[in-house]
Structure 1
Amino acid sequence: MTPINRPLTNDERQLMHELAVQVVCSQTGCSPDAAVEALESFAKDGTLILRGDTENAYLEAGGNVLVHADRDWLAFHASYPGNDPLRDARPIEQDDDQGAGSPS
């Protein structure tokens, strides 16, 4: 992981918001519009919090983490909007029981 020593960009903040909408939709089965309304209600009462450090970013609602992203992953995906992490994500294939990337 590469530390990112700067505040989040507007594009990174927007991507965190888009990911939060997807999380709320997938966990509750609601529509994207309903998810946006729910997140806006947390924002109005001050419990929608975006926090992080040089390596991680978190979006919390009501004290619960909705989205966690590595800062380098977030910077990359926010910089290349044609690369949709929800569409392009693939599971890591494992050839053995020790996990991907383990020495042979």
Structure 2
Amino acid sequence: MKKILLIFTLSILILPIGALANGVIQIENPLTATSFEGITGNLIDFIFKIAIVVAPLMVIVGGFLFLTAGGNIQQISRARNLLIWTAIGFLIVLLSKG
């Protein structure tokens, strides 16, 4: 049993030596930017693309809430707030795109 344990232990210790013979592994940078300004620019572009899709959808939802409010003051207030905050959010995204 001691021989088997010794052989197993030595083989585990010797096994990684072959892996070290490969040399240096280089990993490519998946980002298109290498500076902080470039990364923030890419992030702003990504958020802008999402906002272009989400803002019209939220306007449609707000309009639907207006149509289905049926005179309910809380529903009308909710729809109005949704449209106002959608406009404010999209304006902020537009200004950040500059």
Q: Give the structure-1-normalised TM-score.
A: 0.23
Structure showing the higher strand proportion among its residues: 1
**Structure number with larger C-alpha Rg:** 2
TM-score, normalised relative to structure 2: 0.24
